[in-house]
Amino acid sequence: MVTSDRASAPARSGSVARGPGLAEAGTELPTAARFRASSRLWPTGVAVLTTKDATGAPHGTTVNSLTTISLDPPLLLVSLGSSSRALEHISDTRVFALNVLSRDQEPLAQNFAQPGRRGGADAFAEIPTEAGSRTGCLLLTDSIGYFECGAQRIEAVADHCLVIGAVLSCGDLQTAPPLVFANAAFRQLR
């Protein structure tokens, strides 16, 4: 005899609906809180974006908005809040780099997200770095990979700016698994 447990099976652990689900979805636009809660479900990698200011001093910021756009030519984008200091520096110098973090580099991600953190070269004092050959932006040598970019376009969209980067060089550095950000927390791939 063939039986089916579809109708009576309880929801599998980890798949229980936590939000309003479909029933309450009306015609109103979602609130900021609702949008944030839904956005958190999308897992991403984590990178430290490095750039330099008009005097050449380095600057770092944690980002997870990295998206590749095109393979030929190689283009990517990051979305930066309009008040981001990194955005101000990229607007001045038109160069940046993205350092893709490994699962062991969560402290760096935490550090470069702090609003009141040390700036300039001091911020990198205890971190192994090398100046990228194409941009001069700092590359974190313990990260798993990097992209050096020239800022091709900077487009203001609502409260963020989309920074489109022409990739000038990129490479792998370490073989460790990536750091993951999902549901508002840093996570490690198993």
Give least dist CB 144 to ligand FMN, A: 16
Question: Tokens in use for 141?
Answer: 């040598």
User: Whose Cβ is closer to ligand FMN: residue 118's or residue 133's?
Assistant: 118
Task: Read off the tokens for 119.
Answer: 């700036």
Residues contributing to the site for ligand FMN (CB under 6 A): 46, 61-65, 78-81, 84-86, 109, 113, 115, 181
Closest contact distance (angstroms) between CB of 92 and ligand FMN is 13
Minimal distance, residue 60 CB to ligand FMN, in Å: 8
Considering the complex, state which of residue 76 and residue 109 has its C-beta at the smaller distance from ligand FMN. 109
CB of 76 to ligand FMN, least distance (A): 12
CB 157 within 8 A of CB 87: no
Task: Output the DSSP codes for 81-133.
Answer: ETT-HHHHHHHHH-EEEEEEPBGGGHHHHHHTT-TT---GGGGGTTS-EEE-T
Q: How far is the CB of 106 from ligand FMN (least distance, A)?
A: 9
**Residue nearer to ligand FMN on the CB measure, 48 or 139:** 48
Residues 150 and 129: their CA atoms lie apart, in Å, by 19
Q: What angle do CA 143, 113, 105 make, to 5 degrees?
A: 25
Identity of the residue, 61 or 143, whose beta carbon is nearer to ligand FMN in the bound complex: 61
* 3-class secondary structure, 154: strand
- Residue 75: which of 170, 11, 7 has the closest Cα? 170
Residue with tokens 């600057």: 59
Q: Which is nearer to ligand FMN, 89 or 132 (CB)?
A: 89
Residue nearest to ligand FMN (CB): 65
* Cα 154 to chain centroid, rounded: 17
